[in-house]
Amino acid sequence: MAWEPASGRATLYTWSVVHRNDLPPFGERVPYVAAVVDLAEGPRMMTELVECADASRLRAGMELEAVFRDGVPVFRPR
């Protein structure tokens, strides 16, 4: 196994808007969008979508790009 560079591009596979989560620090972030994305390089990963205040506009297959929050990759619409 070895680290490989990634482009930061992905497509949305599925998502759910979380309205309640009692575990820190998530309780302070509700509502938030939990998602599964397909990275351009092939792997699928769980993540959070950010900068998407209107979740009704999310669509499977939409293009996303990685951004980092506290060193952790999250994704936003492209």
Q: Output the six-digit token pair for 48.
A: 């959070």
**Which DSSP symbol is given to 21?**
-
Kindly report, residue by residue over 20-67, the tens digit of the pLDDT: 989 888 888 889 999 999 999 999 999 999 999 899 999 999 999 999
The predicted pLDDT at position 77 comes to 96
Domains of the chain: 9-77 (2.40.50)
**Predicted model pTM:** 0.88
Q: Output the six-digit token pair for 59.
A: 């669509």
